[in-house]
């Protein structure tokens, strides 16, 4: 009986010590564990800490996946320059070469460097058989809609895109080639002839009506006062009327410029919404399944 008790004690102590020894021997800062922790942080969207852990890992080991993930982490944080540097550091022999070049291009597009995007696309020699190459090609065409460079021919432009999207993109192309801007000179001239008409031309209807009414009332008051020999009041209302009349002409020209800025803003917004809805910038690999 005593033997059994002693054996039991030894067995229990050993089992317990196995567990203690496993945490004793646990090196939280070994390269493997640093990478594991980095992967965990990456999937928790704690990108800054993940990239710091991955950089620590790369000090001791070389790993393309980790470099690529550092690039993705920097992209997610909006650090496009750091992301670009990381993507460019991935060698041609790597499995991630094409993807990294694609992400690098996308980083430039997302920061609004459309001219740079086109230059890089033309010089990068992406493998045309690569399955995501079409994305880069579509973004190349799209970049023309964001800049003031001459547009390519409509047919060539639209053929870059799948058939289902060509209608919508055709509308964008038509807008870009002939935007429905309003002329400030026309607006000013219209307001010279009829106060407020220039504002109505630029779709500011209530502003136009108020301008017409104000200039009209002041003009009438000036006329009525002069007619009744109230010269001081006559000149006062004349001066005010002239001021509002001049202001209405000036304001109509300014209103046309603001209208043009508004429709341009709306156009770019529609373009960005289209890109988001069609998942142009969704990460191509999900490391956190």
Partner 1 sequence: MKYIYLILIFFTVRQEIFPQDALASQFNYAKEIYNEGHYFDSITEFKRLIFFDSSGKYNFTANQYIGNAYKAGAKFSNAINYYTLAEINAENYNELFTAKINIIRVNILRRTTNRAFQLLDSLNCDKKFSNKKKEIYYWKGWAYIFADDWQKASGAFALTDSNETLQKLCEKVDKEEYSVLFAQIISHLIPGSGQFYTGNYLSGLLSLAWNGLWGYLAVKAFVADRIFDGLMITNFLWLRFYSGNLQNSKNFAEEKNLKIANKALKYLQYNYSGTKP
Partner 2 sequence: MVNKLSAFLYFLLIILFISLNLFAQIENSKWGKADYSYQMPDRFEHRDYSFNEKNPERFVLKSVLNAYWFFISDVDGNNCSFSPTCSHFFLLSVKKTNIIQGSLMFFDRFTRDMDIFGKVDHYPYAQNGHYYDPPSLYMLKKDSINYIPPSVVVKNE
Chain residues in the site for partner 2 (CB under 8 A): 44-49, 76-79, 184, 204-207, 209-211, 214, 243-244, 246-248, 250-251, 253-254, 257-258, 260-262, 264-266
CB of 26 to partner 1, least distance (A): 4
CB of 220 to partner 1, least distance (A): 16
DSSP label at residue 104: H
C-alpha torsion 165→170→172→173, nearest 10: 140
Here the tokens at position 55 are 């950089």
Here the tokens at position 16 are 């317990």
Spatial CA neighbour of 135 closest among 161, 110, 154: 161
Q: Which of 1, 26, 193, 282 binds partner 1 (CB under 8 A)?
A: 26
Here the tokens at position 281 are 């910038």
Per CB under 8 A, which of residues 41..60 are in contact with partner 1? 41, 46, 49, 52-53
Identify the helix (H) or strand (E) that includes residue 96. none
Residue with tokens 């045309």: 128
Q: Which stretch binds partner 1 (CB under 8 A): 31-39, 98-106, 110-118, 249-257?
A: 31-39
Here the tokens at position 60 are 């001791």
SS (H, E, C) 131-149: CCHHHHHHHHHHHHHHCCC
Q: How many residues bind partner 1 (CB under 8 A)?
A: 27
From the list partner 1, partner 2, none, partner contacted by residue 220 (C-beta under 5 to 8 A by kind): none
Q: Which stretch binds partner 1 (CB under 8 A): 40-48, 208-216, 226-234, 255-263?
A: 40-48
CB of 261 to partner 2, least distance (A): 4
Q: Which of 35, 37, 79, 161 binds partner 1 (CB under 8 A)?
A: 37
DSSP label at residue 76: H
- Cα 98 from Cα 90, distance rounded (Å): 9
- Cα 156 from Cα 167, distance rounded (Å): 14
From the list partner 2, partner 1, none, partner contacted by residue 211 (C-beta under 5 to 8 A by kind): partner 2
CB of 169 to partner 1, least distance (A): 40
Does the footprint of partner 1 cover residue 187 (CB under 8 A)?
A: no
Q: Which of 1, 3, 193, 279 binds partner 1 (CB under 8 A)?
A: 3
- Cα 55 from Cα 85, distance rounded (Å): 13
Residues that bind partner 1 (CB under 8 A): 2-3, 6-7, 9-10, 13-14, 16-17, 20-21, 23-28, 33, 36-37, 40-41, 46, 49, 52-53
């Amino acid at each position: 009986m005593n033997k059994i008790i002693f054996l039991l004690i030894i067995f229990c102590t050993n089992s317990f010590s196995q567990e203690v020894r496993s945490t004793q021997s646990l090196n939280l800062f070994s390269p493997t564990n640093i990478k594991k922790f980095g992967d965990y942080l990456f999937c928790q969207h704690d990108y800054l800490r993940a990239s710091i852990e991955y950089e620590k890992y790369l000090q001791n080991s070389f790993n393309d996946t980790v470099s690529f993930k550092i690039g993705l982490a920097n992209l997610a944080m909006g650090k496009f320059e750091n992301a670009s540097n990381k993507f460019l550091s991935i060698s041609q022999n790597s499995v991630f070469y094409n993807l990294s070049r694609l992400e690098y291009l996308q980083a430039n597009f997302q920061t609004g460097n459309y001219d740079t995007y086109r230059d890089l696309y033309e010089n990068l020699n992406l493998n045309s058989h690569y399955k995501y190459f079409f994305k880069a090609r579509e973004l190349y065409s799209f970049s023309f809609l964001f800049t003031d460079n001459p547009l390519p021919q409509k047919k060539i432009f639209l053929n870059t895109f799948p058939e289902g999207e060509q209608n919508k993109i055709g509308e964008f192309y038509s807008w870009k080639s002939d935007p429905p801007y309003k002329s400030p000179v026309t607006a000013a001239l219209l307001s010279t002839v009829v106060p407020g008409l220039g504002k109505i031309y630029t779709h500011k209807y209530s502003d136009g009506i108020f301008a017409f009414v104000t200039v009209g009332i002041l003009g009438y008051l000036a006329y009525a006062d002069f007619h009744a020999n109230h010269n001081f009041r006559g000149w006062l209302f004349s001066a005010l009327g002239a001021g509002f009349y001049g202001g209405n002409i000036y304001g109509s020209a300014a209103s046309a410029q603001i209208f043009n800025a508004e429709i341009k803003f709306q156009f770019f917004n529609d373009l960005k919404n289209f890109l988001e809805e069609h998942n142009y910038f969704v990460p191509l690999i999900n490391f956190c399944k």
